[in-house]
């Protein structure tokens, strides 16, 4: 009997060690286990998160001192399938390296506008329907909660395509997000002619069909996903919106002439949207910081906007 008890204790101890190792590696979470895992303070990690779209890679930098608050950071239209451009093209990681907030970088979703689509794109053979709102507000928070990340004390920011999404996701999920920021975002997609502008951009980036996303212009989905239309739902939420005016500067030198010209045109459109959004906030009596400055539609400016937003983000998260 003594030998059996001793063997049982050894087995239990060994099992506990195995669970700890697997949980630390993120394996149990990937398999959907319910084991709570302490996030490594300040470390970086790549996670594969189950979703209705299939496994989604998420790059994270854990809070410096193991805190539970998180900042979701969304990519632009050309979001790569293997990494976040915020990590490869900016110093976002370094900006928050000493802060007690987990940075969350979802990977992929090009031309998705980080929204729930009606159906798969009918023009490029897409197999799964984009369900990015579901992923960012249900599946991903549930997964991260196993690492001690809060479901309710989060901020969200995005550049270009991700800018409007950051605002609309925060508007519709106030229980999750305490701050929202848009950098050169197209924050008024129901503005005349924008349907066609988005159609052209999404066709250029992967032959995606905008009609499969929100239906034809005028469909209720367009209104639901328009940050300007939904502005009243942002009342009481700290907001930061930035846009350049299309005038190039020193930060554009590395872009090359062709890319800079394209970035100038895109930012002129972003400027118009930001002005409309600013005026909408003013009409509703909603405070929000809107910076309209020199610059174009490119990563060095969004890096600078994130640095400007950083103290506002930390304050909103109580850090």
| pLDDT (0 to 100) of residue 248 | 82
Domains in the chain, number: 2
Say yes or no: 23 and 101 in one domain. Answer: no
What is the mean pLDDT of the segment spanning 227-245?
Answer: 97
Say yes or no: 119 and 29 in one domain. Answer: no
Say yes or no: 123 and 196 in one domain. Answer: yes
143 has pLDDT over 80: yes
Tokens 């800079």 belong to 260
| pLDDT (0 to 100) of residue 250 | 77
Say yes or no: 30 and 45 in one domain. Answer: no
25 has pLDDT over 80: no
Say yes or no: 123 and 151 in one domain. Answer: yes
pLDDT, tens digit (0-9, with 9 covering 90-100), for 58-93: 999 999 999 999 999 999 999 999 999 999 999 999
Say yes or no: 87 and 208 in one domain. Answer: yes
Q: And the tokens for 152?
A: 């309710």
Say yes or no: 56 and 9 in one domain. Answer: no
Active site residue ranges: 160, 267, 297
* Strands 154-159 and 177-183, bridge-based pairing: parallel
| pLDDT (0 to 100) of residue 246 | 85
Which residues have CB under 8 Å from 140's CB, separation 6+?
49, 51, 56, 58, 104, 106
DSSP H or E stretch at residue 102: strand 102-106
99 has pLDDT over 60: yes
Say yes or no: 65 and 102 in one domain. Answer: yes
| pLDDT (0 to 100) of residue 37 | 62
Indicate the average pLDDT of the chain: 88
| Residues 265, 202 contacting (CB under 8 angstroms) | no
Tell me the CA distances in angstroms from 174 to 104, 163, 211, 236, 313, one per residue in order: 18, 17, 28, 10, 15
Say yes or no: 132 and 247 in one domain. Answer: yes
Say yes or no: 223 and 182 in one domain. Answer: yes
Say yes or no: 201 and 283 in one domain. Answer: yes
pLDDT, greater one: 40 or 310: 310
Domain holding 218: CATH number?
3.40.50.1820
What is the mean pLDDT of the segment spanning 222-230?
Answer: 98
Say yes or no: 16 and 87 in one domain. Answer: no
What is the mean pLDDT of the segment spanning 188-210?
Answer: 93
Domain that holds residue 191: 40-316
Query: Whole-angstrom Cα distance, residue 135 to residue 127?
Result: 17
């Amino acid at each position: 009997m003594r030998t059996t008890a001793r063997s049982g204790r050894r087995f239990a101890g060994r099992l506990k060690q195995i669970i700890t190792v697997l949980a630390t590696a993120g394996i149990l979470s990937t398999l959907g286990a319910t084991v709570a895992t302490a996030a490594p303070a300040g470390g970086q990690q790549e996670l594969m998160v189950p979703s209705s779209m299939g496994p989604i890679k998420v790059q994270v930098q854990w809070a410096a001192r193991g805190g539970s608050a998180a900042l979701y950071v969304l990519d632009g239209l050309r979001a790569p399938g293997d990494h976040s451009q915020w990590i490869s093209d900016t110093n976002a990681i370094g900006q928050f390296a000493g802060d007690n907030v987990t940075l969350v970088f979802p990977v992929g979703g090009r031309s998705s506008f980080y929204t729930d689509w009606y159906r798969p794109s009918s023009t490029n053979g897409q197999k799964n329907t984009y369900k990015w709102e579901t992923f960012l507000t249900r599946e991903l928070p549930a997964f991260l909660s196993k690492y001690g990340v809060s479901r309710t004390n989060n901020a969200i920011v995005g550049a270009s395509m991700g800018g409007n999404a950051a605002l609309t996701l925060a508007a519709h999920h106030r229980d999750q997000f305490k701050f929202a920021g848009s950098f050169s975002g197209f924050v008024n997609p129901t503005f005349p002619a924008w349907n066609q502008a988005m159609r052209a951009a999404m066709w250029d980036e992967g032959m995606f069909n905008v009609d499969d996303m929100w239906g034809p212009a005028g469909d209720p989905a367009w209104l639901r996903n328009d940050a300007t239309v939904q502005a009243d739902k942002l009342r009481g939420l700290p907001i930061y919106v930035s846009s350049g005016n299309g005038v190039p500067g020193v930060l554009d030198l590395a872009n090359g002439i062709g890319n800079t010209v394209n970035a100038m045109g895109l930012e002129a459109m972003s400027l118009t949207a930001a002005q409309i959004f600013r005026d909408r906030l003013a009409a509703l009596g909603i405070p929000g910081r809107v910076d309209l400055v020199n610059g174009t539609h490119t990563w060095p400016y969004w890096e600078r906007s994130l640095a400007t937003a950083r103290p506002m983000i930390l304050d909103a998260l109580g850090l």
